Structure 1
Amino acid sequence: MLTETLANARVILFDFDGPVCDVFAGLPAPEVAQELTALLSRQDEAAGAKAAETDDPIEVLRVAHEADTELGQKIEQALTAAEVRAVAVAGQPTRGAAEALQAARSAGRGVAVVSNNSAECVRVFLELHGLDEYVTKIVGRPSEQPHLMKPNPFPLITAAEQMNIDVTSCTLIGDSLTDIQAAHAAGATVIGYANKPHKADQFAEAQADVITEDMQAIADALTMA
């Protein structure tokens, strides 16, 4: 099923955090969330209190934008800077990710990264590990528009448009429910990368087209697709 799904895809869309790397492996996400929350609290105590309820930096960003557009911009700038610092110490790409990117290009597929992380941090990581040559387009977090992040299909549709192809000819590889939801909303097929034990059941319930626990399996399937 994995080989068949990839064989029908003209463009492979990779989520970044998970399928390609562990963004906050060296700079833990809760630390970044705490840093952003402290910055937010100094400007808006109520928003800071709400942000303190999460340890996800992306959710802190959502809270900031909901509170005030200008404040959201400041938090977004701080988050982008933190993400760039994080990928510099994130370690090696996810096992099998480099091989999957290479295999996709070797098989003549278009390759794009679609992420709720900043395009800047994606670019830095790919260049750092010599993977930028395999990626045609990067669609990162929509600036100042967190409502357009996945699960909104906007990033997938944007990537498809930039590559001059219908999004229904794309397959997304993602490791979260928001990826599955975004792909369904866009009309793309989706491979759930279950990098934690509980995710396989979640992805099955969310009706991912295929589920795999190994990015290397995707690389192997692409060589046969």
Structure 2
Amino acid sequence: MNFETKAIELVTGEAEKFKELIERARCVLFDFDGPICQLFAGHSAKVIAEDQETWLAARGLAGVLTEGERTSRDPHRVLSEVAARHPGSDLVTELEEWLTQQELKAVPRAMPTAYADPLIRTWSAMGVRLAIATNNSDRTVRVYLESRRLIGCFAPNIYGRTQELHLLKPNPYNLKRALRALGAAADTTLMIGDTPSDHEAAQGAGVHFLGYARNEEQQQLLLEAGVAPWSIVSSLETVLAAVRGGAA
């Protein structure tokens, strides 16, 4: 049994709960990197995090990072933790812009998540209101969506990181911004994310959560964060089928 089959069987074991989760959604908030695309498909996020260290070292600032940050695979974690220790500094402003440029360079090689495009278009055509709440730069998100001709499904409701880096997920700040802009009720809003921080942000905003896990490691992290097995999918095809009325 491969990972995808195993994950779908977990969902179909409690099909009614999953079906209700999808059908109650009148608004859907997407994380960007993961549920919509694999942004660093041609250049892994781990490499980006390593490049952050090199960038800092070239400026004589290698000591700024803790040991945990130097071994992190998450460039957003590095950025937010450096920002917490050096709030409002030129260093943080420059590091954030550097990360934005790395994201923008990655867009042409980004790998669309399977079934994400038709899922987005189907929900949009059905009148479900869509937004993006992400720790990526909103500039990056817009460039990617324009390249896929999806921008009209979301604009103007794209909420990326701001200069207030303490508001990155798991803080629910961007989710709450999206809810206000959409005029959405939390109990009819669904967040689709792929990390424990997405789940925590969804809880903080009071919205429902659907986990997308493209491998067993991601699935295990979501399970450990308290996400129910029936609300984790390994393919958005499962969600698309439910939206189209084809779920078992």
Query: TM-score normalised to the size of structure 2?
Result: 0.83
Unmatched runs of 5 consecutive residues or more in structure 1: none
Give the AA of the match of 2:115: G
Alpha carbons of structure 1 residues 205 and 57: separation in structure 2 relative to 1, 3 Å? closer
Would you say 1:64 and 2:82 are equivalent positions? yes
Deviations 1:129-182 (A, max 9, x none): 1111222411111x2222211111111111111112233321001111111111
Residue among 21, 24, 35 paired with 1:19: 35
Deviations 1:46-100 (A, max 9, x none): 2145542323211221232133232111100000111011122113x10010011
Superposed, which structure 2 residues align to 1:21-40 within 5 Å?
21-40=37-56
Q: From the CA coordinates, give the structure whose radius of gyration is larger.
A: 2
Would you say 1:213 and 2:234 are equivalent positions? yes
Cα distance, 1:34 vs structure 2: 2.3
Deviations 1:10-63 (A, max 9, x none): 101111111100011112222222222222231534214554232321122123
The whole-number CA distance in structure 1 between the counterparts of 2:148 and 2:206 is 32
Provide the residue aligned with 1:134 in structure 2: 153
Would you say 1:200 and 2:230 are equivalent positions? no
Bigger drift between 184-193 and 128-137 goes to 128-137
Superposed, which structure 2 residues align to 1:67-78 within 5 Å?
67-68=85-86, 69-70=88-89, 71-78=91-98
Give the AA of the match of 1:116: N
The whole-number CA distance in structure 2 between the counterparts of 1:109 and 1:120 is 24
Unmatched runs of 5 consecutive residues or more in structure 2: 1-16
Residue 108 of structure 1 aligns to a residue whose secondary structure is coil
| Cα contact 1:150–1:179 (8 A) shared by 2 | yes
Once superposed, what is the RMSD of the aligned Cα atoms?
1.9
The whole-number CA distance in structure 2 between the counterparts of 1:138 and 1:180 is 19
Provide the residue aligned with 2:8 in structure 1: none
The whole-number CA distance in structure 2 between the counterparts of 1:167 and 1:139 is 17
Give the AA of the match of 1:102: R
Equivalent residues, number: 223
Provide the residue aligned with 1:10 in structure 2: 26
The whole-number CA distance in structure 1 between the counterparts of 2:76 and 2:44 is 13
Query: What is the percent sequence identity of the aligned residues?
Result: 31
Provide the residue aligned with 2:64 in structure 1: 47
The whole-number CA distance in structure 2 between the counterparts of 1:33 and 1:121 is 17
Would you say 1:95 and 2:114 are equivalent positions? yes
| Cα contact 2:132–2:159 (8 A) shared by 1 | yes
Give the AA of the match of 1:66: A
The whole-number CA distance in structure 1 between the counterparts of 2:150 and 2:19 is 23
Query: TM-score normalised to the size of structure 1?
Result: 0.91
Give the AA of the match of 2:159: V
Bigger drift between 197-206 and 146-155 goes to 197-206
